A and B are shown apart, each in its own frame.
Chain A
């Protein structure tokens, strides 16, 4: 599903913020998951050491990616897997389509893959007459609703159960008014079982590709990736080139971190290691670049390639929790999405690095220690230097810079500001002032600190 809206993060957040009770609910739900993450992490005495090790392994991957990719390709081929390379999303989508068409299939199943979201695969395939069913429950819900996921791990975290009950009533024929999660999950299980039984092609994402062995590891709680693949004649695994790890034993480090960081679980229910296709089955791996190799050359921004897509930075982010995933208008939302998206299209995503308070909580929970908030700050500078900010922001920043670098002007404008707020509050307390939204403006103090100090200074 593609975002066609041209509104920016601030405008889309404003829409989300109209329902205050819902914002509170969204905020609390995600914070609850952040707390579960903390509890899980604190049970591991060597947690910080584990993060550091994971970070160093990923640094090593970035500096040896060329040889690891070749090693991975060679080993996967020896395992009987066909390896494809795609520079662009278009090329990835065409490759997937050609494999599907070779088998003359019109219905396929897909388990969760943020890469295929990034490439807008579903939209492309449906235009070609292929019916793709997302089999992760959360993804199926947003797919039925015609929406993109709002969170990389919890795709329908913004949906209430009553709304899901209504959606299922319309699409799956469940009784009207039934919003029991147990009942709705059972209904989805029945509905999707039929699709599993009849789909000859299954697409999955990839959590880790091991250079040493050529195997790919896919993690789910529902078992949907496994059920899809094991019942299909063709398995297509789509992965970004940065998903490579050097050795099998490194999975021990990453699997200890992944689910604990994501949802506070000790591990996902299934961590499946696909080496060779099952007897009579075809297996394909598509390695996708889409700007990753270019980003690798940027010392400031290459660290974002270390991401293992756990979503911990989403759950902790005060802006994400209160603005919702759709306000980021990109496949990967949240803090990590805000540093990935400008690399893909700076102009279109120029607003995202500003959708942050730079509090740094994202960097603190990141299991591979990506300097997310530093990168947000650096992107802002790149974006301004390239002229990709609004005139309001540009003029505002220029005048602030003029005021703050001239002590005389600073003094006078401070005094004028205090006087205006005191005597004509409506000049600032109105909807034209962006700082007035969802805020009370402060009461103006009688005097500035400078004035107070010169009055009270002891001789």
Chain B
């Protein structure tokens, strides 16, 4: 008998009866002031939030705050003046020297400061992780209260790879001292774009 049959046989024999699935109560601890809530949580976990009127404001901010002489990875056509779009040839190792990456996310989650982003927005799956600094752009209107609404929104959409990103990469493994920039980006700036 294969291990598969052995395990499945034992599971079938031993699993208890009953126990139906519960309803998920999507009550809202955070219904009001979603932008404020999102911003304050993201700031508390090491991110930075900037409200932007339009793409030009974002472009100006990037020129002012980042060294654009270093390599920038972006997939956003509206920012092509400041951040050239990299040619992604499916070798993520060539992204090692990317200093700044600017990507668009689907939406944000107010209760935890996370942003949902999927592979089609990343250029390359490795990019949001290998870059030294990360900038994400979402629409100011696209913030949901909790993860329940987030998954309602995701629904049964198809994606090959998707992730919630909440703040810069971090660790507190050495005596509980918080250090930003463990293996992934050392900083995260989120632009909330007005429509």
Q: Do A and B bind? A: yes
A positions within 8 Å CB-CB of B: 29, 32-33, 43-46, 49, 52-53, 56-57, 59-60, 62-66, 69-70, 85-87, 91, 135-138, 141, 154-156, 159-161, 164, 181-182, 184-186, 189, 192-193, 196-197, 212-213, 221-224, 226-227, 230-231, 241, 246-253, 255-256, 263, 265-276, 278-280, 287, 289, 293-294, 296-297, 299, 302
List residues of chain B with CB within 8 A of the CB of A269: 45, 165-170, 184
Q: Which of B29, B45, B109 contacts A43 (CB 8 A)?
A: B29
Q: Which of B114, B130, B171 contacts A271 (CB 8 A)?
A: B114
Would you call B20 and A230 a contact (CB within 8 A)?
Answer: no
B positions within 8 Å CB-CB of A: 2-4, 6-8, 10-22, 24-25, 27, 29, 41, 45, 90, 92-93, 96, 109, 111-114, 119, 124-126, 128-130, 146-148, 150-152, 154, 156, 158-177, 179, 181-185
Chain B proximity of A373: nearest CB distance (Å) = 21
Would you call A231 and B130 a contact (CB within 8 A)?
Answer: yes
The CA of A170 and the CA of B163, in the complex, are separated in Å by 37
Would you call A280 and B90 a contact (CB within 8 A)?
Answer: yes
The CA of A270 and the CA of B171, in the complex, are separated in Å by 12
Q: Which of B8, B90, B93, B166 contacts A70 (CB 8 A)?
A: B8
The CA of A91 and the CA of B150, in the complex, are separated in Å by 38
Would you call A287 and B7 a contact (CB within 8 A)?
Answer: yes
List residues of chain B with CB within 8 A of the CB of A293: 7, 10-11, 14
Would you call A270 and B164 a contact (CB within 8 A)?
Answer: yes
List residues of chain B with CB within 8 A of the CB of A33: 176
Would you call B11 and A66 a contact (CB within 8 A)?
Answer: yes
List residues of chain B with CB within 8 A of the CB of A287: 7
- Asked whether A227 and B90 contact (CB < 8 A) given A181-B179, A271-B164, A272-B163, the answer is no
Would you call A59 and B184 a contact (CB within 8 A)?
Answer: no
- The SS class assigned to the B binding surface is loop
The CA of A279 and the CA of B165, in the complex, are separated in Å by 22
Q: List 11 A-B contacts (CB under 8 A).
A: A43-B29, A57-B22, A137-B174, A161-B177, A185-B179, A231-B93, A247-B21, A266-B41, A271-B163, A272-B161, A273-B159
Q: Which of B15, B111, B161, B163 contacts A65 (CB 8 A)?
A: B15
List residues of chain A with CB within 8 A of the CB of B13: 297
List residues of chain B with CB within 8 A of the CB of A294: 10, 14
Chain A proximity of B87: nearest CB distance (Å) = 15
Would you call B8 and A189 a contact (CB within 8 A)?
Answer: no
Would you call B3 and A270 a contact (CB within 8 A)?
Answer: no
- Asked whether A222 and B182 contact (CB < 8 A) given A87-B7, A253-B24, the answer is yes
Would you call B148 and A252 a contact (CB within 8 A)?
Answer: yes
Nearest CB in chain A to that of B6: its residue: A87
Nearest CB in chain B to that of A277: its residue: B160
Chain B proximity of A268: nearest CB distance (Å) = 7
Chain B proximity of A38: nearest CB distance (Å) = 16
Top-5 shortest CB links A-B: A223-B184, A297-B14, A222-B182, A266-B112, A293-B10
Chain B proximity of A406: nearest CB distance (Å) = 42
The CA of A247 and the CA of B151, in the complex, are separated in Å by 10
Would you call A154 and B173 a contact (CB within 8 A)?
Answer: yes
Would you call B161 and A275 a contact (CB within 8 A)?
Answer: yes
- Asked whether A249 and B19 contact (CB < 8 A) given A29-B176, A46-B25, A155-B173, the answer is no
List residues of chain A with CB within 8 A of the CB of B176: 29, 32-33
The CA of A53 and the CA of B19, in the complex, are separated in Å by 12
Q: Which of B126, B166, B182 contacts A267 (CB 8 A)?
A: B166
Given known contacts A252-B148, A269-B170, A273-B162, what 14 new A-B pairs fall within 8 Å (CB)?
A53-B25, A164-B174, A184-B174, A185-B179, A193-B183, A196-B183, A249-B152, A252-B24, A252-B146, A263-B172, A269-B166, A270-B169, A270-B184, A294-B10
Would you call A189 and B159 a contact (CB within 8 A)?
Answer: no
Chain B proximity of A269: nearest CB distance (Å) = 5
Q: Which of A60, A156, A251, A296 contacts B21 (CB 8 A)?
A: A60
The CA of A66 and the CA of B165, in the complex, are separated in Å by 33
Would you call A136 and B173 a contact (CB within 8 A)?
Answer: yes
Most buried by A among B96, B113, B126: B126
Would you call B111 and A266 a contact (CB within 8 A)?
Answer: yes
Would you call B21 and A231 a contact (CB within 8 A)?
Answer: no
